[in-house]
Amino acid sequence: MIEIALMIEGQNGLTWPRWKRIVKAAEDLGFAGLYRSDHFTGSNPPDQDSLELWVSLTWLADHTRRIEFGPLVTPVSFRHPAMTARMAGAVDDLSGGRLQLGLGAGWQEREHHKYGFDLLSVSQRFQRFEEGLQVITHLLRKEEPLTFHGTYYQMDEAILLPRPQRAGGPPVVIGGNGPQLTLPLAARYADEWNCVYQTSEKFKVLNEKLDQELNQVDRKPSSVRRTMMTGVRIAQNEKALAEKLAGNNPDELRQRGAIVGTPAQVVEQVQRLEQTGLQRVMLQWLDLDDLKGIELLARTLIH
């Protein structure tokens, strides 16, 4: 049965009071997990509150007992992979083994420019990302020290201590839709692939492409979990839905991969995704103060 999780955009006004309320709701209402983005700012002004990712996940790890959680995704472009591995191992241990380590290459130009980080060209960005994946997966999964001399990272007998309590550390999640760059990396390094905003038809195509990539590197398709982060708009009836959409066309949103509708319509869309092989969906909840909407989502898809 497909698992239902929440995802929020941390750069869209996330504060400690909001985060604590959302964490409690996710834990109490039965969601499988709670995930959040890792950004300094939004893509466009005005800037809003943006609670630091790893600090917030550390609090969650120590104040929940059930839900899985993690970044979707934390980029190597402004987080050194050695530090990411150290934080991930520690937070996973603190939570009793519930972190899902979502990793990405970085993409948002505005935050990199504002804070002085090099985003690089797409080809360079993915070369750096692969080096970061090599560093992180070695430090988490292997006990022997790492000596690594790449273009972007250099290590000399680096080791992660204490060793992660979970064998191999937290699962590595690689996020993205790119068939030429992202899927081959997911096939080589990921425990989970997380695509973004896909219809059931488009997901099916990408899912089959990942199977092909896995076969090429002698990994079983079943060795990589398939998940998706996508938007959701839900309301009790058509009138309330129209008010929530504020003029946006629901069919256009669905064609972009979002899940939109009344409870019955939302259930139907999620079931179609499940039939294509999706194992977990992370539903992007944009209104950080709408806890009643989160409750409706839980009653619709979980209870």
Look-up of token digits 């905003």: 197
What CATH number does the domain containing 224 carry? 3.20.20.30
Name residue, tokens 């690089």.
Answer: 120
pTM above 0.85, yes or no: yes
Q: Is residue 266 in some structural domain?
A: no
- Is 239 inside a domain boundary? no
- Distance between start and end Cα atoms, the chain: 13
Secondary structure of residue 155 in the 3-state scheme: strand
Structural domain boundaries enclosing 296: 3-233+271-301
Sequence-distant (≥ 6) Cβ neighbours of residue 87 within 8 angstroms: 54
* Residue 260 belongs to some domain of the structure: no
Phi and psi, residue 228, nearest 5°:
-145, 140
Q: What is the pLDDT of residue 3?
A: 98
| Position 243 in a domain | no
Bridge-based pairing of strands 154-158 and 146-149 is: antiparallel
> CA 140 from chain center: how many Å?
19
| Residue 251 counted as domain residue | no
The answer as to whether 256 is a domain residue is no
Q: Give the total number of structural domains in the chain.
A: 1
Are 119 and 109 in contact, with CB atoms under 8 Å apart?
A: yes
Q: Phi first, then psi: give them for residue 155, nearest 5 degrees.
A: -130, 145
- Provide the 8-state DSSP code for 224: S
pLDDT in tens for each of the 303 residues of the chain? 899 999 999 999 999 999 999 999 999 999 999 999 999 999 999 999 999 999 999 999 999 999 999 999 999 999 999 999 999 999 999 999 999 999 999 999 999 999 999 999 999 999 999 999 999 999 999 999 999 999 999 999 999 999 999 999 999 999 999 999 999 999 999 999 999 999 999 999 999 999 999 999 999 999 999 999 999 999 999 999 999 998 899 999 999 999 999 999 999 999 999 999 999 999 999 999 999 999 999 999 997
Residue 245 falls within a domain, yes or no? no
* Residue 43, in any domain of the structure: yes
